[in-house]
Amino acid sequence: MNLEEPELGVSRAVLLRRLRRAGLRPTRPRIELARLLFGRGHRHISVEQIQTEAATSDVIVSLATIYNVVNRFTEVGLLREVKVDGARTFFDTNTSAHHHFYVEDEERVIDVPAEHLKVGEAPPAPEGYEVIGMDVVVRLRRVAPEG
């Protein structure tokens, strides 16, 4: 694989800067997975989908490495974790505060436009805790057309 100029729309230099600004050492697996994750704009992707994309792009990384990288990227703010239920987690390349639709029968996550969902203030946290964020996941199911 050529790491000099990835074909997915993000240069190696941009990826290296992004990783270093986040305080991460730019290892080969991090660079290769960053290219896959950030080379196609904002999107929501599961670890399984990353594994499939890696395999089809000739990126040789283990499933454990993928988990380690996405978890570390999440810890440093490069990715946002979107848990849609106890068994399904997606990683969002758009780390700004926003909410999501989850299309259950397609296992797909879509951003909710900010103007379409107004969430009030967070409830006060119990003593000894602080609110660090609120995530709303609106579950969808495709309806059968009438007729």
Strands 99-103 and 137-140: parallel
pTM for the model stands at: 0.81
Q: Using CB atoms within 10 A of its CB, is residue 104 exposed (0-12), middle (13-18) or buried (19+)?
A: middle
Sketch out the chain's domains with CATH numbers.
Answer: 12-83 (1.10.10.10), 96-140 (no CATH)
Tens digit of each residue's pLDDT (9 = 90 or more) over 46-77: 999 999 999 999 999 999 999 999 999 999 99
Q: What are phi and psi of 38, to 5 degrees?
A: -100, 0
Q: Which two tokens stand for residue 84?
A: 């849609």
Both tokens of 143, joined, read 């309806």
